[in-house]
Structure formats: structure tokens, C-alpha cells
Structure 1
Amino acid sequence: MKKLSMLVSLCALMSLIGCKEQKEEKKEEVKFLVTNPVLKDTAITKEYVCNISSIRHIELRALEKGYLQQIYVGEGQSVKKGQLLFKIMPNIYQAELGKSKAEANFAEIEYQNTKKLSDANVVSKNELAMAKAKLDKAKAEMSLNQVHLDFTEIRAPFDGIIDRFHVRVGSLVDEGDLLTELSDNSSMWVYYNVPEAEYLDYATKVHKDTKMKVNLLMANNEIFDQSGVVETIEANFNNETGNIPFRATFPNPKRLLRHGETGTIEMRLPYKNAMIIPQKATFEVLEKKYVYVIDKNNEIKSREITIAAELQHLFIIKDGLATTDKILLEGIRLVKENEKIAYKLEKGDAVLSHLELYAE
């Protein structure tokens, strides 16, 4: 009876050991999901706060002193090149022009009489030259007074939109006083500042003969319906901010954009043959990015990587990985350095197809 009891206990013990071994085997059979980096043409979108300016925005100022006699346009009105805008009382300038015309006529008569006498050898050639100089001086003064009279009329130098008035009819204006501003909004210049590192990305990724297109996000969070072109980059960086100004030109056929507006420039930088991995395959230690790489012995090894750019759910890798590397995609917090694991490999293209990728 005692032997039978020992035999039963031994069987029970062997059964428990067998169950434990089966559980351990099942635990070892847990497979982690692994993937590999993918090479793909893509692009990232950078955003920059911007200021919007008319391609021509000028001040219209009085060219002569006098009372403002007439305003021929309204604030905010579109005007054409050469259109009369303001008129300063011209009486004094008209009188001066009349006086100079009379003097020029007198000098002309005097010159003609002297010329006849000179042809008859009655007066010397020097006296004729003096009469000619007097006539030229009178004509020059008449031309000058004509210019002064013309300056009493201020006309639009180009097609544009009139800003608010700084004077009213009857105001006494002095030479140089500001009357209003005029904006040519047919096209707009949009200025924005780019950090040095992003400028270098732009300079190395965009062909020098290619003009990059950009989009404008307006203040109402809507994209402007015209694309702009980056045409100008200033010569020097701002040493205080580390930025360099860019200028993009936008056509403005509907005159929707106005001088002084603000917005956000969206600039897409192309990345040819970029190495891409999911963001969730990475972890951070002391502000450095790492991934777990599975070596030939199926052991986990952490490896530092350098990020070139960030997309939604994705990183573009600058350094640290090769396309042949196998990186841990899921279960990063469940493994330890040098631990041996079982895994299931899912191709990088298949993994990316489940993520939002903005690619060309």
C-alpha cells in the first residue's frame, strides 16, 4: 500500500513537471513582429510663418506746395496707369508758366532780329551768340514752369488699388506730404524665414535650375488657389536668429491677397530613395533615438539611429541602418538587450501600407 502511494505521488510529480515544461515551451514560442527599412521616394512638408506684400507698394506724395483742390478717386478703388488722382491748386504755377512763355517769345523775337543784323554784318557773331543763349535760357525756364504745373496733378504710375487718404480736399499740403499709398496686387511677394539646417536641405535637394513650388495657407486656414514659386533667397543669414529669408511669388488674378496680410507657407522638400521606418519601431534614451536590431543569432541589439526628417507615423533615416537589417516593430518594452527571441518578419512595404505615407 505504501509503495502504491509513492507511485501515485511520483506520477503526479512527473505530470506537474511535464505541464511546466509545456508552458515554458509555449512561452518560448511567442513570436515578435519584425520588419526591415524601406527605400522610397517621398517628400516632407515644412511650414513657415510668412508676410505678404504687393509686388509694388508705393507712397504717393505731393510734388508741389498748395491747397488740395480735387480728389478724383475713392479709398480702396482700383485705378489704371496714368489716371488722374489728385489736383493741387495750379493758379500760381499757371501764372509763372504764362510769364515764362512771354519771356521766351520776347527772346525769340530779339534773337531773330539779331540774326538778321548778323547776316548783314551789322552786329558781331558774339552778339548773336548772346541773343541765342538768352533765348535758350527763356525756353528752359518755360519748360521748368511747365513741369511745376504738371506736378500739381498726381497720376497713377501703374495699375493698382488706392489705400486710405491722409489728406482731404482743401488741405494745405507741402512738397513731400503723404497723400495715400498705391498697391499693385496683380502678383504678391511672400517672405518667410528658413533655418540654416532646412536651407541646406533645400539647397542640396532642389536642382539649381528648378524653381520650387510652394503653397500658401491663409489666415482662415484655407489654401490659396494659386501655387507660388520660390524665386529669391537673400545673400546672408541673420546671425541672431540663424535664419535666411526666402521670397516666393504668387499670382493673384482675383486680387484676393492684399498688402500686409500674413499666412503660412507650406514647402515640400523631396527625398529621393529615402530610408523609411515606422516611428513605433523606435525608442528614446537621453534624447537619442534607438531601434532594436535582430542579429544573425536572433538576439536583440539596440542601435542608435540618426533621423533626417519626420513624416506622420514615419521617420526618414539619415544614418544607422541598412535595408538588410531586421528591426523589432512591436513588443519593444517586452524585450531586453541581448535576449534571444522568436520572430515573424513582415516586409517593410506591407507595414507601410497600413500607415499614412505622403509619397510622390
Structure 2
Amino acid sequence: MKKISLPIIASLLILSSCGKKEEQAPVQGPAPFAVKEIVLQDATVYQEFTANLEGQQNIEIRPKVSGFIQKVYVDEGQMVKKGQLLFKLETQMLNQDASAAKAMVSAAQVEVDRLKPLVDRNIISNVQLATAKAKLAQAKSAYGSIAANIGYGTIYSPVNGVIGSLPFKEGSLVSPTAEIPMTTVSDTKIVRAYFSMNEKQVLYFNRTFKGSTTAEKLKATPPVSLILVDNSEYNQKGKIATMNGLVNSTTGTTEFRADFTNPEGLLRSGSSGIIRLPIVQSNVILVPQVAVFEVQGKQIIYAVEQGNKVKSRIIETNGTSGLDYIVTNGLAAGDVVVIEGASKLKDDMEIVPQPTKNEVIANTATTTATATKTTTKK
């Protein structure tokens, strides 16, 4: 009997084992991928503009007469009412002038009283009395002017509002010609957000919102949101109230104004924010952003074609709505696209499509939109 060495037996066993494994390994078929059929939808997108906030009234407080500040009755940031006392100026010199002017009035009145009976008895002519009366009127006018200047030394708030900075302290000399005001009173019950659009944006605005006049177009605009500096959304909606009729030749922009109520005093004059204007686009194509990938700056998505084979397509987009891209070119209604696992695909690869209902995707988009303030309507 012929003997077989142990190494040969081991090799035969290994080969036999490998053969069994190869026989047992199943042949892999097409993998399942989630897909979506393209349908036309309405989407709300947002245009954003940097805005500067101002109170509906920002009134600079300036003295009408020169003088030293005797007393400051308010503090920075204080709420004041219309007619509330703000400043008191030193008027001692004016008081002395007023006393002298009042004495002149009394002297002129005495002269008129002395001449009147003489004219009545035809002792003197009426011309002398008329001259005396003119001097009396002149004296009264001078006294009235000085008295008014004394009154100007007491400064009151012209409106309800918030006190701004106080650059001048007690003892400071102020005058009507000073470069900076004594303070500013801002009425912030209504806060105005000023923002600008370039010529292209204005043209799109005019085409989007219907109306033959600017007033009609502004009336057709939806409420706008205000994004604060901490990226939170202000809890009151605003309305675009005005649109400048001219384009600034230097900047090429047109200024708009949106008004917001400020019941809690959260907004302050001089601060900034972002105006978010919603615009509805009808019958657009939406695809999930996760389904799109970029190659050399081009956006690509996989479409399912005949025989369930996928083919890459270059698409063009114009903004986003929630977690979806708005596709303007490359897809049409009725196309089927892969919405998950695009990184695992290559052209002409066969898959098993797993249809995803548009309603489910729309609901998901709406939920996300609520979180991001971008909505999609089915």
C-alpha cells in the first residue's frame, strides 16, 4: 500500500474546505435603495437682508439758548413720558435781563398813562401818545423775548421714549450750535427696520408681488420676520411699509422699511438684525439635499432609468426650502431619483427601488421647515 505524507493530506483538506465555502456563498443581487418620484410642488423660500433698527421717532434734544447745565433729571436708558422734565439750564443772567426789561415795560406804561388824559383834553397831540404806545409795545416785546429764553432753560421731553447717551454732565456749557445733542429720546413702541435691495432684487420683487403701484405691491407682501443678533427670531411679525422710489446712484440699491411692534421693549434703536422675506414659488421640483453630491463644483443626483439601472445627472438648483434643494434644470416631473445612499452608486448599476411616498417626504420637510422657518406645501 502506497503511503501518503501528512503535508499532502493537509493540503487536500484545505482545498476541499475552500471548495465547499465557494459552493455555499450566495450570489449577491441588486441592492435596495430608497427612491422618490418627482412631483411639482409649491415651496416657500426666504430672501434675507441686513437691517438697521431705529425707533419710530429719534428726537435729538438740543438747547434753544446757551447756558450751563444746572441739573440733569434723567439717566441713560430711562423711560420718559412726553412733557417730563429732562434738563435745567442756569438762567441767572437772563433773570437779571428780565428784571431790567420788566422795568422798561413799567416805565413805558407810566408814560402812556400820563399822556392819555392830556390827549383827551387836547393839550398835546395824539402823535406823542402814539409814540409812547409804540415804546411800550417795544418794551413788552423785549421782555417777552427774554422771558421765553428763560423758559427755554427748562427742557422737557417732546415724546414718550427712551433716553439715549448723556454726553454733557451738570456744569457743562451747552449751546444751540453744539455739534452733538444733549441726548436723544427714542420712541420704540414701533421699531423701524431699514434694509436695502440691489437692482436685481428690486426687479424680482416688483415681478413677484402684483400691483400697478408701489402701495399695491407693498400691500401684497406677506409679513416678514426679524432675525436678531443671537440668531433667534423676534416673536413679532413685521410688515414692509415703504419702498424708496429712487435707486441710490452710489450703491445701486433701493431702501425699504419694515415696521415691528415692540410691546416688551426688546428691540432698541441703533441695533441691527436680518429681515427674512418669504416668497412662494409655485410648481417647483424639490429633492432632498442628502441625495445630491458635488463633483468638481457640479451638483449630481442619481436617476433610476430603464431596467432599474441608475444614471448620474447634473442638476441646477436655485436655493433651498427646508432640507430640500429647489431644482431648476436636470429633472422633470415623473423622474425617479435615489434619495439615500448615493455614495454607494455608480452609473449603470442595477438597484431594487424602494419607493418613498411624496406625502411622507413632504411631511418630513414641513417638520424640518418649522424648525428652520422654511415651509413646503404639497
TM-score with structure 1 length normalisation? 0.73
Determine the structure 1 residue equivalent to 2:240: 230
Which digits, 9 at most, give the CA deviation of each residue in 1:302-359, with x for residues without a partner? 77655333123312244565434555656867454xx697875666445544554522
Structure 2 letter corresponding to 1:60: I
Structure 1 letter corresponding to 2:193: V
Matched, 1:52 2:53: yes
Q: Which ranges of structure 1 fall in alignment gaps of 5 or more residues?
A: 1-22
Matched, 1:103 2:104: yes
Task: Give the Cα separation in 1 of the matches to 2:113 and 2:302.
Answer: 104
Q: Cα 1:238–1:289, aligned 2, differ >3 Å: closer, same or farther? A: farther
Describe the SS at the equivalent of 1:49: strand
Determine the structure 2 residue equivalent to 1:78: 79
Matched, 1:247 2:248: no
Determine the structure 2 residue equivalent to 1:323: 333
Q: Which ranges of structure 2 fall in alignment gaps of 5 or more residues?
A: 1-26, 211-216, 370-374
Match of 1:312 among 295, 319, 322: 322
Bigger Cα displacement from structure 2, 302-311 vs 70-79: 302-311
User: 1:309·1:315 contact (CA, 8 Å) conserved in 2?
Assistant: yes
Matched, 1:158 2:170: no
User: 2:311·2:346 contact (CA, 8 Å) conserved in 1?
Assistant: no
Task: Give the Cα separation in 1 of the matches to 2:252 and 2:38.
Answer: 33
Structure 1 letter corresponding to 2:325: F
User: 1:32·1:341 contact (CA, 8 Å) conserved in 2?
Assistant: no
How high is the sequence identity, in percent, across the aligned residues?
Answer: 31
Which digits, 9 at most, give the CA deviation of each residue in 1:164-190, with x for residues without a partner? 432332334344444333222222222
TM-score with structure 2 length normalisation? 0.70
Q: Report the CA distance between 1:149 and its aligned residue.
A: 0.7
Bigger Cα displacement from structure 2, 62-71 vs 146-155: 62-71
Determine the structure 2 residue equivalent to 1:262: 272
Matched, 1:205 2:208: yes
Structure 1 letter corresponding to 2:264: K
Determine the structure 1 residue equivalent to 2:7: none
Describe the SS at the equivalent of 1:93: helix
Q: How does 1:140-155 map to 2 (within 5 A)?
A: 140-155=141-156
Which digits, 9 at most, give the CA deviation of each residue in 1:5-42, with x for residues without a partner? xxxxxxxxxxxxxxxxxx8xx96x77876544323333
Task: Give the Cα separation in 2 of the matches to 1:69 and 1:300.
Answer: 84
Which digits, 9 at most, give the CA deviation of each residue in 1:277-319, with x for residues without a partner? 3345556576555666678999988776553331233122445
Describe the SS at the equivalent of 1:73: coil
Task: Give the Cα separation in 1 of the matches to 2:208 and 2:123.
Answer: 85
User: 2:227·2:234 contact (CA, 8 Å) conserved in 1?
Assistant: yes
Which digits, 9 at most, give the CA deviation of each residue in 1:26-85, with x for residues without a partner? 96x778765443233331234443332222223323332233222222333222211222
Q: Cα 1:124–1:318, aligned 2, differ >3 Å: closer, same or farther? A: farther
User: 1:34·1:343 contact (CA, 8 Å) conserved in 2?
Assistant: no
Determine the structure 2 residue equivalent to 1:180: 183
Q: How does 1:188-199 map to 2 (within 5 A)?
A: 188-199=191-202
Determine the structure 1 residue equivalent to 2:24: none
User: 1:211·1:231 contact (CA, 8 Å) conserved in 2?
Assistant: no
Q: Cα 1:112–1:38, aligned 2, differ >3 Å: closer, same or farther? A: farther
Bigger Cα displacement from structure 2, 170-179 vs 70-79: 170-179
User: 1:278·1:352 contact (CA, 8 Å) conserved in 2?
Assistant: no
Q: Cα 1:219–1:34, aligned 2, differ >3 Å: closer, same or farther? A: closer
Task: Give the Cα separation in 1 of the matches to 2:231 and 2:292.
Answer: 33
Bigger Cα displacement from structure 2, 287-296 vs 214-223: 287-296
